[in-house]
Structure 1
């Protein structure tokens, strides 16, 4: 080995020794506890210097003749890395400013032509309670003022249950729209609206719960107004029936509109 063995610790740690010198230093390291201890302290330094360029590596190789050069090199590396971090932060901040400016310009450029943000359309709740006060005609059921409901009107009152209903059936491209007003309906109970076709097939088109005070009763004077639809054409419907369903799922009729 052309240099003093004890001066090759840093060069060996950095991997700048050629194969022959590295082999000879390893032989020396096996018998020199001082170099072994120094090499152990060099491990963190090697990690810090992993990202420096080739010229810096060459300068580090000269530390075998000038031990102070290693300290100066480390200081320079730390300073350079601090500058790099500052440049990165400034570049990031500039990018944010530019992006914000472009966003503002784009918004101003689009102006009123910018497409509006889609908004979810409100979904009507069914059923709803309708005030008992109705149109001017006292013979018509209360529908909440002058509100008109589309379709042919059908009135019915069940002699056994006392439940009263007015139904409006309107022909639609998709089938039939059914609007229902109920009163004299006691609770609590679960109800459903059943469509019976002329071919004897049936379809449940709506279910709801009735509170203990009921609808259109002494405890709750508000009648119940709800709507439903069916794929059955209006001409194919034989009757529409409001049913009460018990806890076992057994249904019993409350009121039926059959004059269709």
Structure 2
């Protein structure tokens, strides 16, 4: 380990060695703890020296013969460095203030959003909330799943066939609207809804087929829900009748619904 190698620490730190000498010193530095420690102590000095440009160095060389000029130059350089550090501090403080302000705004926004109840997609804070839909008294009636069914409700069960039904009879200007649901109706079979008028006239206003599992049965708990209309006024109706029709077209009553 030569004396020259140890003296290269400052030159290496300032970056004045050529490429070959730099490689040689780095090989030496890898095995010399003394040079490594000395190089570490020079890092802050090198950082300060990096602030001095070539023009400043030239000015310093020119002041070596004039002590007064040298003092003025050093004072000017110190003042310049203090101002530079002060500007850096101000810039850092401003960045902190701006970041803090943005963070505060973001936090306030997040707080406001978290305090606003989620009213669902497409609804604002002032969006009206629809009231819950009213339903008929029969949980399996035609009004289930929508608004309250209009018309007079008639619940009936045939004592002979066991078929049960819920009917809503709504009188209109054009006649009568009939919304109904049927249960305990086994299948398979063909059925019709017939209007029997007080003048003994009849009218078939709906027809349907019942599958093997039926409706409102153990095989198929779901009830049948249908709607129909007739030109007969409700005051002219004696009763409604659900009938089954065999292969020969003969009708047999399954359920009779009296007009209210």
TM-score by length of 1: 0.46
Q: Relative contact order, CA 8 A, sep 6+: which one is greater? A: 1
Give the TM-score, by structure 2 length. 0.46
When Rg is computed on C-alpha atoms for both structures, the one with the higher figure is 2
